[in-house]
Structure 1
Amino acid sequence: VVQVMTYLVENETAALLVPANLVPRVHPHYREVVGFLAVQMADEARHVEVFTRRIGLRGRSPGTSSRGGQASLATLVTERDPDVASFLLSVMGETSFLELLRFLQQHGPDPVTRAICRLAATDEVRHVAFAVGRLRRRGDPALLDRLASAVRAREAALRHTSGLDPNVFDALIVLASPTFDPPGVSVGFERVVELVGRMDRARRAMLVRLGYAPEQAAALSALHTRNFM
């Protein structure tokens, strides 16, 4: 649990910084957008706090962080194009993250872990819906090509990184294993593989909603970072 919560804290911190970077660039006339981004920042700050508290619930220290994961998140935080930043974070990243939170809600070993993941997922649904709705209404005929190019550029930049911290992958397997003998761990592994598949299907569905053809959506989803966010 501690290792997974450490991963969640790291990713939620990046998800806080992205809207924080966007707010100063929104014209004050669009106060509803500024207001929503402020709420999104508050949501992410609350997630960081709650997941941090779960780490220390029994006096434990945070788990590990990987260079590959940090490199993946850095591409979100340093992105200067507001449309691309929103797309990569919410449409690609938080859509995947939602499936992870639902997975943890199902397989969390205690009521606290399951409850905080359920509540965080409720917030993330709003973030994804806002990003998808805003991008669909942009009215820019070149937008889809620009977003697709951003996905390909990010994949190229991260191609030689390690991706998801193996300690996080192993921790997910442990959480999903009904027992800790070889057959039980095998079940846990298969459940994590199924999780990755659900993430892919969820991303593809969101991409189709944005206007991509199903084959384009499948190709772009396959290029998404192995770090999930």
Structure 2
Amino acid sequence: MTGGWAASSVDLGELGFERGAHLLVQRALRGLAPGAELAVSGRDPALTVHLEAWCRSEGHGVRCPDDRDDPVRAYVIRGRADLDRWSDAKRAGDPRPGGVERRPEPHWGLAARGALVEPGGPEFGFDLADRDLVWADIAPALYAHAASAQWDPGKAVDWDADVDVPADIERAVVQVMTFLVENEQAALVVPARLLSRIHPHFREVLQLLAVQAADEARHVEVFTRRALLNGGAMGTSSVSGRESLATLVTEPDFSLASFLLSVLGEGTFLNLLTFLDRHAPDPVTRQVTRLARQDEARHVAFGVAHLQHQSAVDPSLRSRLRSAIERRHDALVETAGLNQDVYDSLVTLAAGEWTPEAIGRGYEEVRKLQKEMDEGRQHRLIRLGFPADEAADLSALHTRNFM
């Protein structure tokens, strides 16, 4: 702003409205009360024509001086229209995690949290629009950790390492990797499906689930790449395995899906990945399972934290969780359970060689793995408030397919 008038003046120089002059006028009007005048000067030949049109659209008045020698081309009279437009506006919470509203307005839609939201507009169909349905206080910290812990499959794994293992052992590795890919694809689909249903106001949860889906996509990549590393074909996929995973993918309830996938399924997979790390016959297998386990631990942490949060506000939650386990068990009770090829491959990897003594040790190692899986599930169920005896009963009902 320049000129010899009072502070309520603006000199546009050669700048015309077709090149952004309205920004300077708008800025000068911002500090004026309704009814106050702003003296506008400038040398653009079409200034008054464009200024009058702009003022009409914005709800301001305008008058031109009678004296043609007056350096002021027009006086803008501050209107109320732009003030009234935002008089009923409400901020969409606060951008910080502590500013999350319990029930964000439907018309907030994709507005940034903390933005001043103009009333009206479309109402988006986000059905997960209640804080208690999706939130966990640990979500912002977990997202920050997840974002910093991303790894590049091409660089984090030494794909040139020696993987010259006996053919029978390699077949076992390929079968287990095939099994892992199938399960990780289910673990990718579930958060991806839920993402579109969550109100963007809960952005930390959206961000965390988006990274979780990206994690699973990487796992699918590295497990597939390890399976094919020595030029063999992928292993087998059983009907019972796919039936088990279908019960995860089709669960519509956010909390129950988180419970079945993250708390029980991925929690059980933590033990499996630890087992594979311990019995890996080559460095690449060890690296991919170790990297995946780091990610899965974060997924389990969010699932447990979310359900702990919800159980504090919903006394009926544990009953719903119990029913979810029982329904899934009943749906799968007639299936064959874990793919026999997978079970045998786990025994083979733990044995490491083809002697009766080694196979016996491998079998006992897999039995020990199943016991550790059961104990881990019981521990997480107890953290969610189940009594120890009920936790044991419910853990025993978990799918034999691990996930």
What TM-score, normalized by structure 1, do the two folds share? 0.99
Find out whether 1:210 has 2:384 as its counterpart. yes
Listed as ranges, the matches of 1:26-175 within 5 Å are: 26-138=198-310, 139-175=313-349
Contact 2:181 2:224 in 1 (8 A): yes
Task: Return the offset for 1:180.
Answer: 1.1
Q: Larger Rg: 1 or 2? A: 2
**Partners of 1:143 and 1:60 in 2: CA distance:** 46
Counterparts of 1:7 and 1:114, CA distance in 2: 16
- TM-superposed deviation, 1:25: 1.2
**What RMSD in Å do the two structures reach over aligned CA positions?**
0.6
Matching residue's letter, 1:217:
A
User: Over residues 17-52 of structure 1, what are the superposed CA-to-partner deviations in whole Å (9 max), with x where a residue is unaligned?
Assistant: 010111111111000000000000000000000000
Amino acid at match of 1:119: L
Rounded Cα–Cα distance in structure 2 between residues aligned with 1:154 and 1:178: 35
- Confirm or deny: 8 A CA contact 1:9 1:48 kept in the other structure: yes
The percentage of aligned residue pairs carrying the same residue is 59
CA distance in 2 between counterparts of 1:148 and 1:60 reads 42
Please tell me whether the aligned partners of residues 351 and 360 of structure 2 are also in contact (alpha carbons under 8 angstroms).
yes
Q: Runs of 4 or more off by more than 3 Å in structure 1?
A: none
After superposition, the C-alpha distances for 1:180-220 in whole angstroms (9 at most, x for unaligned) are 11111000000000000000000000000111111111011
Local SS of the residue matching 1:227:
coil
State the partner residue of 1:196: 370
Q: Which runs of 5 or more structure 2 residues have no equivalent in the other structure?
A: 1-172
1:90-111 CA-partner distances (Å, limit 9, x unpaired): 1110110000000000001000
Out of 17, 20, 29, the residue aligned to residue 189 of structure 2 is 17
The count of aligned residue pairs is: 229
Confirm or deny: 8 A CA contact 1:26 1:34 kept in the other structure.
yes
C-alpha distance in structure 2 between counterparts of 1:77 and 1:96, whole Å? 17
- Cα distance in 2 for residues equivalent to 1:5 and 1:179: 19
Deviation of the 1:60 alpha carbon:
1.1
Match status 1:182 vs 2:356: yes
Q: The residue matched to 2:233 in structure 1 has which SS?
A: coil
* Partner Cα separation in structure 2 for residue 44 and residue 117 of structure 1: 12
The TM-score, its normalising length taken from structure 2, stands at: 0.56
Paired AA for residue 84 in structure 1: L
Structure 2 CA distance for aligned equivalents of residues 17 and 210 of structure 1: 25
Bigger relative CO (Cα 8 Å, ≥ 6 apart) = 1
Letter of the 2:252 partner, please give it. R
Q: Aligned partner of 2:179: which letter? A: Y
Deviations 1:100-133 (Å, cap 9, x if unpaired)?
0000000010000011101100000000000100
**Aligned mates of 1:25, 1:60 — CA distance in 2:** 40
Contact 1:23/1:34 (<8 A) preserved: yes
Q: Secondary structure at the match of 1:25?
A: coil
Structure 1, unmatched stretches of 5+, are none
Q: Structure 2: which amino acid aligns with 1:18?
A: V
Shift of 1:179: 2.8
* Alignment check: 8 A CA contact 1:178 1:187 kept: no
User: Following the alignment from structure 2 to structure 1, what is the Cα–Cα distance between the partners of residues 306 and 224?
Assistant: 31
* CA deviation after TM superposition for structure 1 residue 178, in Å: 4.0
- Looking at structure 1, the residues matched to 230 and 282 of structure 2 have their Cα atoms a distance apart, in angstroms, of 13
Distance 1:123 1:182 in 2: 36
Cα-to-partner distance string for 1:121-174 (whole Å, 9 max, x where unaligned): 000000000010011001211011001000000000000001100000000000
For the 8 Å contact 2:281–2:352, the answer to whether it is kept is: no
Q: What code does the residue aligned with 1:143 have?
A: L
